């Protein structure tokens, strides 16, 4: 393995549920939550601006006010995320052994804030987020831009749907279902199975 690509939420941090709760509370405050499709949108992980834009298509309201409230509340969480020390320590201890990338559905501004607060941004060659493309598009970008064989890449992700879609690229995947997963041991298992 030469390259490791990390999803962020529920791998490096676990803050999405708190952020979604903040968004829900703010939408309730402005009586924008009582529509079935709003609950469905929040069950997906979508950029907060897209959520507000989608709601505004059907219900006029002060978008800037609501978005500012959401940004303020979530900035508090983002500035002090709940971190996974096991993964962060792995990154710090192995940054000379592997090349690290992110491949996140979070917006890039969140990724930058999170990584700055965790002091790990300098360990990553590139931070890819939803603005760059889908999980598969970002993996293909990493492969092409860096001329890396798919088999030399490990993608670590908590969402099985993203694991399944990225598997089609030929990249190795690790379904991250437990914060105590030993990444080094998993890499060894994958390398020995080649």
Which of 79, 95, 130 is the C-terminal boundary of a domain?
A: 79
| Cα 22 to Cα 66: distance, rounded to the nearest angstrom | 12
Q: Are residues 60 and 110 in the same domain?
A: no
**pTM score of the predicted model:** 0.76
Neighbouring C-beta atoms of residue 42, cutoff 10 Å: 16
CATH number at residue 110: 3.40.50.1000
For the chain, what is the domain count? 2
Structure confidence by residue, pLDDT tens digits, 103-135: 998 888 888 988 998 999 999 999 999 889 899
Which of 79, 96, 118 is the C-terminal boundary of a domain?
A: 79
Tokens of 176: 């991250």
Which of 79, 100, 121 is the C-terminal boundary of a domain?
A: 79
| Cα 10 to Cα 137: distance, rounded to the nearest angstrom | 21
Q: Are residues 94 and 187 in the same domain?
A: yes
Q: Are residues 89 and 106 in the same domain?
A: yes
Q: Are residues 42 and 87 in the same domain?
A: no
Provide the pLDDT for residue 167.
Answer: 94
Q: Are residues 169 and 186 in the same domain?
A: yes
At residue 55 the predicted structure's pLDDT band, cuts being 50, 70 and 90, is: confident
Q: Are residues 29 and 96 in the same domain?
A: no
Closest CA to 23 of 41, 48, 45, 44: 48
Higher pLDDT, 16 or 11: 11
Least confident of 4-18, 37-51, 53-67, 109-123: 37-51
Closest CA to 102 of 130, 71, 66, 67: 130
Q: Are residues 74 and 91 in the same domain?
A: no
Provide the pLDDT for residue 140.
Answer: 97
Q: Are residues 103 and 67 in the same domain?
A: no
Rounded mean pLDDT, 47-74? 86
Domain assignment of residue 37, given as a range: 16-79
Provide the pLDDT for residue 61.
Answer: 93
Specify the length of the chain in residues: 194
Provide the pLDDT for residue 131.
Answer: 87
Q: Are residues 174 and 109 in the same domain?
A: yes
Tokens of 24: 């829900």
Cα angle for residues 176, 178, 91 (degrees, 5° grid): 65
On the question of pLDDT at 71 being above 90, the answer is no
At residue 46 the predicted structure's pLDDT band, cuts being 50, 70 and 90, is: low
Q: Are residues 133 and 65 in the same domain?
A: no
Structure confidence by residue, pLDDT tens digits, 155-188: 999 989 899 999 999 999 999 987 788 899 999 9
Q: What angle, rounded to 10 degrees, do the helices at 108-118 and 63-79 form?
A: 30
Q: Are residues 45 and 92 in the same domain?
A: no
Q: Are residues 143 and 113 in the same domain?
A: yes
């Amino acid at each position: 393995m030469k390259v490791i690509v990390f999803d962020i939420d529920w791998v490096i941090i676990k803050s999405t549920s708190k952020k979604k709760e903040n968004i829900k509370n703010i939408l309730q405050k402005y009586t924008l939550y009582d529509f079935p499709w709003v609950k469905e949108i929040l069950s997906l992980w979508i950029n907060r601006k897209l959520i507000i834009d989608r709601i505004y298509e059907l219900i006029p309201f002060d978008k800037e006010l609501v978005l500012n409230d959401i940004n303020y509340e979530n900035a508090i969480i983002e500035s002090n995320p709940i971190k996974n020390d096991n993964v962060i320590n792995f990154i710090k201890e192995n940054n000379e052994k592997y090349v690290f990338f992110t491949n996140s559905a979070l917006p890039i501004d969140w990724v930058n804030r999170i990584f700055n607060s965790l002091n790990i941004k300098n360990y990553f060659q590139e931070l890819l987020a939803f603005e760059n493309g889908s999980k598969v598009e970002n993996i293909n970008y990493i492969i092409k831009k860096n001329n890396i064989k798919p088999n030399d890449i490990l993608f670590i992700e908590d969402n099985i749907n993203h694991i399944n879609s990225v598997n089609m690229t030929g990249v190795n995947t690790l379904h991250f279902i437990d914060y105590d997963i030993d990444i080094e041991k998993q890499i060894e298992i994958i390398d020995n199975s080649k």
